Chains A and B, each alone.
Chain A
């Protein structure tokens, strides 16, 4: 096993542990936005899509690059936008109270 692979494996494992630690603290109320946000985060595969398209030089490669870029961009943009939209709906108690008192 090369030193680089070992280093990457360490990063992977530590990131996994950080993930368990951080996400374990997210309340059930926010689980849908959480899933949608992590969904958007895996849209970082867009970076991989760019790397693929950058070395493309045959028609098949170009077709592949196009599909990967489209998939990844849809994932990342849609994921973040819908998460933001959902989180915007979660109202703090004070706002709801003032709204109720207005009626």
Chain B
């Protein structure tokens, strides 16, 4: 090993260390930003070391440098623009998009290694896996981003024979991978493999409904990590292996957490066809069960004289862009000495932790955001629970067996002394069942759009107690 090569490998080791320590610092909001910057430093080091390696080996043609720089410039500009322009509500789409290009890049890296079938089996196996996983991720993430952005229907897209098609695609990919691994393959086998994997990615995500996206995004994130690690095996590059493994672990953990938060197995989610997609729809339910409608003034009185208010935000809050209106109400209440906290369900958004980012954007301090267990310890002590845009995650029916959400961990909103729900209509949530919370005698329904309702509440609190 030459001196340069040794130094480059040491730099890769340092970069991998930066990634691990950077992720470690993400265990608290106060150090997370520093952690991310440490991770950036590691990335710069890895790229710089690779540059040194390329210059030192001298094998890169002028055209090679040109395409590399041109590609890097185009990608950097696109990435910068997207990262700066994206609204926080669209964060899941953006993460999916970055995930797609990462997976796509990982798949493409392996192609030159397979095209001349000369390499050892120890390269061909990870190369084939890299192409399959990377291509599935690329196509799947693009479909997921399209669903989240509303370009592809958010509802589950199912058609007769979908499983047969999916099975056929998986079989085609497996055969092509087998041919390549045995060393018989050429360009044609690579093309079949990539095409089958791309189609498989589309077929995987299409049948999954919009509100299951937190699981899908997490899973695709894990896939990309694995693909990058495979690319590390192919190019014998330790920093790719370590970084890929870290991302794979992160995606796997988040996938498991999200699936547990919905009390549905990963397999059941991937089969798809569940739920109605965004907006819920469904006819007004609760045939005959009485609900108590309240006016903004009634609700404002309750809130103004409460000592402790727990806000339960859901995706509907984000959909109505009402997080700033919510924070304004909370600020008015807090200035009167009311203690306001936010109870955040793990799937209260379109990706893990999405609601926290939306609230952070509206200047809610992170110390007021409570996770499921902490929130459920606070809710019985609350004078008022204010539910905005959350539905299924507050339904007490989940504690009983025999319905669509049985066993799902919920926020115990019904244990607060009083409940106010801001909602446009009695429409169903994603699971398509009646929410028993709404017919609870202590629940007041404020029928309004989330933003209009919150603005009215804030105004009413101000006039009442000014």
Chain A interface (Cβ within 8 Å of chain B)? 1-2, 4-5, 8, 11-13, 15-20, 22-57, 61-93, 95-97, 99-100, 103
Contact = CB atoms under 8 A, between A and B. Distances in A.
B229 interface: yes
Contact of A30 (B69, B252, B353, B363): B353
A65 B68 contact: yes
B99 A39 contact: yes
Interface in B335-382: 335, 344, 346, 349, 351-354, 356-357, 360-361, 363-369, 371-372
Max count, chain A CB within 10 A of own CB: residue among B28, B50, B98: B98
Contacts of A1: 122
A53 B51 CA distance: 11
A84 B37 CA distance: 8
Contacts of A75: 75, 79, 98, 101-102, 105
A69 to B, nearest CB: 3
Q: Is the interface of B mostly helix, strand, loop or mixed?
A: helix
Contacts of A16: 245-246, 248-249
A95 to B, nearest CB: 7
Nearest to A80: B40
A55 B46 CA distance: 19
Contacts of A36: 91, 95, 98
Nearest to A65: B67
Contacts of A51: 50, 54, 109, 235, 237
Interface string B161-195: 00000000000000000000000000000000000
Contacts, number: 394
Contacts of A28: 257, 344, 346, 352-353, 356, 371-372
Interface string B390-414: 0000000000000000000000000
Contact of A45 (B26, B67, B80, B228): B228
Interface of B: 15-16, 19-20, 22-24, 26-30, 32-33, 35-37, 39-40, 43, 46-47, 50-51, 54, 57, 59-61, 63-65, 67-76, 78-80, 82-84, 86, 88, 91, 94-95, 98-99, 101-102, 104-106, 108-109, 111-112, 120, 122, 217-218, 221, 224-225, 228-229, 231-254, 257, 331, 334-335, 344, 346, 349, 351-354, 356-357, 360-361, 363-369, 371-372
A37 B74 CA distance: 21
B146 to A, nearest CB: 17
Nearest to A13: B245
B237 A48 contact: yes
Contacts of A95: 365
A69 B75 contact: yes
Contact of B108 (A17, A71, A99): A71
Contact of A32 (B61, B91, B238, B371): B91
B71 A66 contact: yes
B351 to A, nearest CB: 6
